[in-house]
Structure 1
Amino acid sequence: MTPRAAPLRRGSRRRANGAALLSAMLTVALVATFAAAALWQQWRSIEVETAERARVQAAWVLVGGLDWARLVLREDGRTGGQDHLGEPWAVPLQEARLSSFLAADRNAGADTSGEVLDAFLSGQIVDLQSLMNVSNLIDDSGKISSDDLHGFARLFETLGLPQAQLDTLAENLRLAADASAASKASPLAPLLPQRVEQLAWLGLSENTISVLKPYITILPYRTPVNLNTASAEVIYATVLQLSMADAQRLVAARERSPFRGIEEARLAVGAEASAFAAGQVNVSVGSRFFEIRSRLRLDKLVTEEHAVVLRDGLDVRVLQRWRTAPTPVTDEHQTGAPPVGR
């Protein structure tokens, strides 16, 4: 063996050891990557399953809340007569733990699991005939109703909204209604909105819609305004012969005693007989359309549901129903107040 052979063998061993160490490090890194990927996939599957289970649970609870509200309206319908804000259906359901409802049912075993303890339900029933119906702008012949247009003009003026947008709304609504009724209508006609938020399709700005929301609704056909539940602004805009002061006096009078008929409302403010003429479609003391608003707080998410129902005698059927996407819990959701506004 020559003297140069020993250093060469030592160098080869060092290179071999370095390669082995590098291979081992690469193997460890590869195994760690696979393990992290598998762990992430497992975590993702658990999160998806948890979210889907929460969605299904929320859907069933909200269906139960809707059925309960329909039962309340049906029982109220048995009594007949007028509808007013002193009736049970008008009392909002403040946020309450779902387990308290289960415990109250002696015929069913109360589920005291953690998921039930973390579920809170709230909601309210809103009389949609306490609001001005946008559909009233179009009369039975498909033309713009001048009286109802005048009423909406009074509402726009009261709220400080531009009258030009009302004219655009009325004309586009006429076109949309005509497109829904006749196949020969222009294909460029706007879609007929089903909810207040969709009035943007007819040319209203987002600011105008947000200001109008507490005072208007969209129903399938022309409806009167309930004098027992409407606000002073809505009454003033609907009954053209009344002043705002008269409308406010009418609201104060019904708080003492709900009106049993339109004549009582007229006498309460001393209005002329023509203001509440018999057979007018614009006012009444009863309602058939209601909106049921439910809100479920389950764990860290809040889901809201809205349903428009029609009460026809003892039959309370759902006309529209939509649900919002679950949102994270905020301080507002934990105040216990039911959802308000439209």
Structure 2
Amino acid sequence: MITVALVATLAAAALWRQWRGVEVEGAERARVQSAWILTGALDWGRLILAGDLREDQRTGQNIDHLAEPWAVPLAEARLSTFLAAGESGSDTDRDAFLSGQITDLQSRLNVMNLVVGEPLARTQALARFSTLFRELGLRGGELATLFDNLARAHDAMKAGTPGDGDAPLLPRRYDQLAWLGVSDETLALLRPYVTVLPVSAAIVPVNLNTASALVIHAAIPGSDLAGAQRLVAERDSAPLKNTTGVRALLNLDEASDLGWASVRSNYFEIRGRLRLDDVALEEVAVVRRQSSGSTRGVYTLWRERAAITVPAAGR
């Protein structure tokens, strides 16, 4: 009996190790396949943006708007062959679904505009963000904290001493604004209207063809929300070709400042999601489209991937 028990124990241990090896191999295979599919989704987005650039150069209309192909989301589609599909009886024999979307990041206010230029330009930028905070019912004190910490982080970076002393690190992504004293509740409210783009020597303008009425109202001093909503209605029927007629649509005088207004975009977010049952792997990438010079093309600035839990389709 002791011998039988010993043999049974050894056999069970060997079987468990074999099962564990198969599971590890399957998980690694799924990880690699998922990575390749999401990389393909990123390449899909870059190709669409590059194609849009070529079309704009061919037609001579250098504008971006929400009726262009890049603005159409990729609806969730089934991938019939994925994760060893076809192995009957295997628990990996499940359908996988891919979806994606490209978002114009210049449809939002760039936080880094707060540290561009001379003190007067920074004060004017602060006034624009104050308008946004006021319309959203957010505390002005939190904006002041954000402005102060961002300026210190930017100055430390220019001095070549990022993170030294009590200066925070300069954020590169939206969620990193929490480093500058912005609460989670404020970040959640600001997300549709604010973005973080690379530090530039010039203001990154807002694309009036893709921005919401609230963002347009904040970006153009002297405008009101009703006028911005009227502009959105006009541009939805016929995209703006330039900013010439914006003052008339917003009832502004000729001296009004349109320095933050544009009809062209260079920064986009590409989001791809691969879903398997109620678990999804999502990749987010920010790209810059360079339309002139020897480095013309679409370049990835950063990308990140995370696993999330979502309701399965049909539930």
Is this contact kept in 1: 2:101–2:271, CA < 8 A? yes
**What is the 5 A alignment of 1:282-321?**
282-298=260-276, 301-313=279-291, 314-321=296-303
Is this contact kept in 2: 1:157–1:163, CA < 8 A? yes
TM-superposed CA distance for 1:132, in Å, is 0.6
TM-superposed CA distance for 1:249, in Å, is 0.8
Matched position secondary structure for 1:307: strand
Partner of 1:265: 246
Aligned length: 297
Unpaired runs of at least 5, structure 2: 57-61
TM value normalised by structure 2:
0.86
Q: 1:65 aligns with which of 26, 29, 41?
A: 41
Is this contact kept in 1: 2:224–2:250, CA < 8 A? no
Is this contact kept in 2: 1:172–1:189, CA < 8 A? yes
* Structure-2 change in CA distance of 1:160 and 1:30 (3 Å): farther
Report the AA paired with residue 255 of structure 2.
Answer: S
Q: Distance in 2 between matches of 1:113 and 1:265?
A: 58
The structure number with the bigger radius of gyration is: 1
* Structure-2 change in CA distance of 1:141 and 1:42 (3 Å): farther
TM-superposed CA distance for 1:299, in Å, is 5.7
TM-superposed CA distance for 1:97, in Å, is 1.6
* Structure-2 change in CA distance of 1:210 and 1:269 (3 Å): same
Report the AA paired with residue 334 of structure 1.
Answer: A
Matched position secondary structure for 1:166: helix
**What is the 5 A alignment of 1:93-132?**
93-99=74-80, 113=86, 118-132=95-109
Is this contact kept in 1: 2:142–2:182, CA < 8 A? yes
TM-superposed CA distance for 1:304, in Å, is 0.4
Q: Distance in 2 between matches of 1:312 and 1:117?
A: 40
- Tell me the percent identity: 50
Q: 1:138 aligns with which of 111, 115, 121?
A: 115
Matched position secondary structure for 2:269: strand
TM-superposed CA distance for 1:30, in Å, is 3.8
Q: Distance in 2 between matches of 1:257 and 1:99?
A: 40
Report the AA paired with residue 174 of structure 2.
Answer: V
Q: 1:165 aligns with which of 142, 148, 151?
A: 142
Q: 1:49 aligns with which of 18, 25, 35?
A: 25
Show CA shifts across 1:178-224 (max 9, x none).
Answer: 11111357432101111111111000111111111111110013300
Q: Distance in 2 between matches of 1:311 and 1:204?
A: 29
Report the AA paired with residue 25 of structure 2.
Answer: E
Partner of 1:206: 184
Matched position secondary structure for 2:255: helix
Partner of 1:195: 173
Partner of 2:125: 148
* Structure-2 change in CA distance of 1:284 and 1:38 (3 Å): same
* Structure-2 change in CA distance of 1:184 and 1:86 (3 Å): closer
TM-superposed CA distance for 1:47, in Å, is 1.8
RMSD: 2.5
Partner of 2:59: none
Q: Distance in 1 between matches of 2:120 and 2:20?
A: 56
Partner of 1:14: none
Report which stretch shifted further, 111-120 or 83-92.
Answer: 111-120
Q: 2:12 aligns with which of 36, 40, 61?
A: 36
Is this contact kept in 2: 1:132–1:215, CA < 8 A? yes
Is this contact kept in 1: 2:223–2:251, CA < 8 A? no
Show CA shifts across 1:108-145 (max 9, x none).
Answer: xxx98577972211011000000110000112358871
More helix by share: 1
